Structure 1
Amino acid sequence: MKNKGYVLVAMAGILWGCIGFFVDNLIQKGLTPEQVAFTRLFLGFLILALYALIKTPDALKLTKKGLIYSIIIGFICQAMFNLCYFNAINKIGVSVAAVLLYTSPLFVALFSKLIYKEEIDKCKQISLLLCFIGAFIAVTGGILDFSSLNFLGILLGIGASVTYACMPIISKGALSECKSITIIIYGFLFGAILMIPLAKPWTMVNYIKDTNTIFLMLGLGLIPASLAYICYVSGISTGIELSKVGIISSVELVVSAIIGWTIIGESFSIIKFFGVCLMIVSAVIVNFSKTSETPIDIVSKESLQCNKSI
Structure 2
Amino acid sequence: MGKFVPFMMIAVSAALWGIIAIFVRNLANIGFTPMEIVTLRVVSAVVLLGLIGILKYKEQLKIRFSDTRYFIGTGVFSIVLFNWCYFTSINQMSLSFAVILLYTAPAFVVVLSFFFLKEKLDRWKIISVLGTLTGCVLIAGVGVFETTTISLAGIITGLGAGFGYALYTIFGKFALKKYSPFTVTFYTFLVASIALLPITDMWKKASILVSAEVLFYGIGLGLFPTVLAYLLYTKGLEKMDSSKAAIIATVEPVVATLLSVFLYNEGFGLWQFIGSLLILFSVILVNLPILSFRKNNREKATIL
TM-score range, shorter chain: 0.7 to 0.9
Q: Which runs of 5+ in 2 are unaligned?
A: 293-304
Determine what percentage of the aligned residue pairs are the same residue. 33
Q: Distance in 2 between matches of 1:150 and 1:214?
A: 38
SS at 1:120's partner residue?
coil
TM-score w.r.t. the length of structure 1 is 0.76
TM-score w.r.t. the length of structure 2 is 0.77
In structure 1, the residue matched to 2:49 is 48
**CA displacement at 1:193 relative to structure 2:** 1.3
Larger Rg: 2
- Is the contact between residue 79 and residue 168 of structure 2 (CA under 8 Å) also seen in structure 1? no
Q: 1:244 to 1:161 in 2, by over 3 A?
A: closer
In structure 1, the residue matched to 2:192 is 191
After superposition, what is the alpha-carbon deviation per residue over 1:208-237, rounded to whole angstroms, capped at 9, x for unaligned? 364323311121112211233445567789
**CA displacement at 1:270 relative to structure 2:** 1.7
In structure 2, the residue matched to 1:159 is 160
Q: Which amino acid aligns with 1:189?
A: L
- Is the contact between residue 88 and residue 154 of structure 1 (CA under 8 Å) also seen in structure 2? yes
SS at 1:177's partner residue?
coil
Q: How does 1:68-83 map to 2 (within 5 A)?
A: 68-83=69-84
In structure 2, the residue matched to 1:148 is 147
In structure 2, the residue matched to 1:208 is 209
In structure 2, the residue matched to 1:169 is 170
Deviates more, 1:248-257 or 1:52-61: 248-257
In structure 2, the residue matched to 1:110 is 111
Q: Which runs of 5+ in 1 are unaligned?
A: 291-310
Q: Which amino acid aligns with 1:208?
A: L
In structure 1, the residue matched to 2:252 is 252
Q: Distance in 2 between matches of 1:15 and 1:219?
A: 11
After superposition, what is the alpha-carbon deviation per residue over 1:173-194, rounded to whole angstroms, capped at 9, x for unaligned? 3223322211210110110111
- Is the contact between residue 106 and residue 246 of structure 2 (CA under 8 Å) also seen in structure 1? no
Q: Distance in 2 between matches of 1:165 and 1:85?
A: 13
**CA displacement at 1:155 relative to structure 2:** 5.8
Q: Which amino acid aligns with 2:171?
A: I
Q: 1:88 to 1:48 in 2, by over 3 A?
A: farther
SS at 2:282's partner residue?
helix
Q: 1:165 to 1:275 in 2, by over 3 A?
A: same
Mapped pair 1:276 → 2:276 = yes
Q: Which amino acid aligns with 1:274?
A: I
- Is the contact between residue 138 and residue 272 of structure 1 (CA under 8 Å) also seen in structure 2? yes
Q: Distance in 1 between matches of 2:243 and 2:119?
A: 18
SS at 1:287's partner residue?
coil
SS at 2:287's partner residue?
helix
User: What root-mean-square deviation, in Å, do the aligned CA atoms of Structure 1 and Structure 2 show?
Assistant: 3.6
Q: How does 1:49-68 map to 2 (within 5 A)?
A: 49-68=50-69
- Is the contact between residue 9 and residue 236 of structure 1 (CA under 8 Å) also seen in structure 2? yes
Q: Which amino acid aligns with 1:259?
A: L
Aligned length: 286
After superposition, what is the alpha-carbon deviation per residue over 1:109-133, rounded to whole angstroms, capped at 9, x for unaligned? 2223454565532212211221222
Q: 1:217 to 1:135 in 2, by over 3 A?
A: same
Q: Distance in 2 between matches of 1:219 and 1:245?
A: 25
Q: Which amino acid aligns with 1:107?
A: F
